């Protein structure tokens, strides 16, 4: 028997804006950031303990009436800033998060929230482009990348609940928030449809059935050369910049080049991860992965002055490689995609998965000959093969045990 469940998803698309529209959206984003800072200054200097939402709302209405530049921000976006800031303090008061802080111009991602979807009027123009109404901006084109619920005829059922405008190095994008009624089937028989996944560097994803998912460099050779040149230029120019001095136009242009190239690489990473995780979620019912503490794995080996670290350069390179693979995001994508397909994702404890022989289940010292080679030293076994494949088989076997122990026993077994 299946059940119906509400799914909240986001769909990001690139906006096609004119130069004037970009300036107006930049003004809205700066006004939203400044409004957050004004609210923070009001709370920290007024002495009012745990102010009510209505008190902050009155202050915002007064500010929008008397401060001209706040008028660039739509009223709905102002209320969204207010509610987000108030929720941040509520989380702090309840001990679930730290207190909110000021948002600096250089470190804050420009963003404007559109909390209500009634005025968006999203329509599809043709195969590649759609149209959307943005407050104080008008009708704007956006790149159509996937079907939106309630918009595409014959597309997914549901509705758009709001949107958020975000700017990165590649320009302004719109993220549609959608609500879908998904029919989730009961957990299917995974007797012949289960897989374990080992995440790595040389082989990004190694599957227990022998398959692998690989990718090439995220940047082309020409782009790598441009990135290295820009990084050297920025390091050279910063040598002649005094502390507290404003960034020159030339240095800012170099920073823009670096941000643009890194944004391209990130978009390619996301594209590969989405396509790969979608294929895995459709092919397997039970997906098992290692429960890795990625933050601890990426700790610096530099050490201290009294106790300096060893192999610092090698560890730094490994940390960059791990960060480039974005292992945590891969698991997040797999989690909701397997659930949408009626499957399940199981997190397996990491200790022993790469040292245990998947054939005999025994950990024998010296079996891991190299990073890519595994030879079981158990006299009664002697299995040999790829180390990533061996680890993925161990993960798959442990995932089956954990899934059965959680009450989702394999169909046909007792």
Interatomic CA distance for residues 330 and 327, integer angstroms: 5
- What does the pLDDT read at residue 139? 92
For 327-354, how does the pLDDT look when each residue is reduced to its tens digit (9 = 90+)?
888 889 998 888 877 788 888 888 878 8
Tally of helices (H runs) and strands (E runs) in the chain: 9, 14
Q: Is the pLDDT of residue 226 over 90?
A: yes
The runs of H, that is alpha helices, within 167-291 are: 221-238, 249-283
Between the ranges 24-28, 253-257, 279-283, where is the mean pLDDT highest?
24-28
Strand 171-184 and strand 158-168: the pairing is antiparallel
Q: How far is CA 98 from the centre of its chain?
A: 22
Burial zone of 85 (CB within 10 Å; 0-12 exposed, 13-18 middle, 19+ buried): buried
Q: Is the pLDDT of residue 413 over 50?
A: no
For 295-331, how does the pLDDT look when each residue is reduced to its tens digit (9 = 90+)?
776 676 665 555 665 666 676 777 777 777 788 888 8
- What does the pLDDT read at residue 361? 78
Provide mean pLDDT across the span 221-248. Answer: 85
Interatomic CA distance for residues 261 and 169, integer angstroms: 8
Q: Is the pLDDT of residue 356 over 70?
A: yes
- What does the pLDDT read at residue 59? 80
3 state DSSP class of 38: helix
For 161-199, how does the pLDDT look when each residue is reduced to its tens digit (9 = 90+)?
999 999 988 889 999 998 877 655 555 566 668 888 888
- What does the pLDDT read at residue 104? 87
Beta bridge mates, 138: 134
Interatomic CA distance for residues 406 and 414, integer angstroms: 13
Beta bridge mates, 375: 384
How would residue 409 be classed by pLDDT, with cut points 50, 70 and 90? Answer: very low
Interatomic CA distance for residues 214 and 282, integer angstroms: 18
Mean pLDDT of the chain: 82
CB atoms within 10 A of CB 208: 23
For 35-59, how does the pLDDT look when each residue is reduced to its tens digit (9 = 90+)?
999 888 888 887 767 777 787 788 8
Interatomic CA distance for residues 39 and 27, integer angstroms: 18
3 state DSSP class of 23: helix
Interatomic CA distance for residues 348 and 351, integer angstroms: 9
- What does the pLDDT read at residue 1? 46
For 60-117, how does the pLDDT look when each residue is reduced to its tens digit (9 = 90+)?
888 888 888 888 888 889 989 988 988 888 898 888 888 888 998 878 899 999 988 8
Q: Is the pLDDT of residue 128 over 70?
A: yes
14 DSSP assignment: E
Interatomic CA distance for residues 120 and 138, integer angstroms: 10
- Give the range among 141-155, 270-284, 301-315 with minimum mean pLDDT: 301-315
Provide mean pLDDT across the span 361-376. Answer: 78
Interatomic CA distance for residues 21 and 79, integer angstroms: 22
Q: What is the DSSP string of 303-335?
A: B-SSSB-SSHHHHHHHHHHHHHHTHHHHHHHHH
- What does the pLDDT read at residue 410? 43
């Amino acid at each position: 028997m299946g059940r119906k469940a509400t799914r909240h998803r986001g769909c990001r698309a690139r906006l096609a804006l004119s130069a004037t529209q970009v300036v107006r959206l930049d003004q809205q984003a700066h006004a939203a950031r400044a409004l957050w800072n004004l609210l923070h200054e009001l709370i920290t200097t007024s002495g009012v303990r745990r102010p009510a939402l209505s008190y902050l709302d009155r202050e915002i209405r007064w500010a929008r009436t008397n401060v001209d530049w706040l008028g660039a921000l739509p009223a709905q976006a102002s209320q969204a800033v207010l509610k987000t800031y108030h929720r941040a303090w509520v989380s702090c008061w309840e001990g679930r998060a730290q207190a909110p802080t000021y948002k600096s111009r250089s470190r804050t991602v420009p963003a404007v929230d559109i909390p209500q979807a009634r005025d968006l009027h999203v329509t599809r123009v043709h195969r590649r482009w759609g149209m959307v109404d943005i407050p104080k901006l008008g009708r704007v084109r956006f790149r159509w990348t996937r079907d939106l619920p309630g918009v595409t005829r014959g597309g997914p059922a549901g509705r758009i609940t709001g949107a958020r405008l975000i700017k990165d190095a590649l320009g302004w994008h719109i993220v549609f928030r959608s609500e879908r009624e998904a029919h989730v089937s009961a957990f299917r028989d995974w007797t012949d449809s289960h897989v374990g996944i080992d995440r790595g560097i040389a082989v990004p994803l190694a599957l227990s059935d022998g398959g692998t998912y690989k990718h090439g460099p995220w940047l082309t050779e020409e782009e790598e050369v441009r990135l290295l040149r820009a990084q050297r230029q920025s390091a050279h120019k910063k040598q002649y910049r005094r502390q507290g001095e404003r960034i020159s136009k030339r240095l800012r242009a170099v920073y823009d080049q670096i941000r643009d190239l890194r944004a391209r690489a990130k978009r390619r990473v996301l594209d590969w991860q989405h396509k790969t995780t979608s294929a895995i979620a459709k092919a397997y019912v039970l997906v098992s992965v290692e429960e890795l503490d990625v933050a601890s794995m990426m700790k610096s080996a530099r050490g201290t002055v009294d106790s300096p670290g060893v192999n610092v350069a090698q560890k730094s390179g490994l940390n960059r490689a791990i960060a480039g693979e974005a292992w945590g995001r891969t698991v997040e994508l797999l989690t909701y995609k397997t659930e949408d397909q009626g499957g399940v994702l199981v997190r397996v404890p990491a200790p022993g998965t790469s040292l245990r022989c998947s054939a005999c289940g025994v950990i024998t010292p010296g079996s891991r000959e190299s990073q890519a080679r595994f030879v079981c030293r158990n006299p009664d076994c002697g299995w040999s093969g790829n180390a990533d494949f061996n680890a993925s088989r161990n993960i798959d076997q442990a995932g089956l045990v954990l899934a059965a122990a959680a009450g989702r026993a394999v169909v046909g077994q007792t």
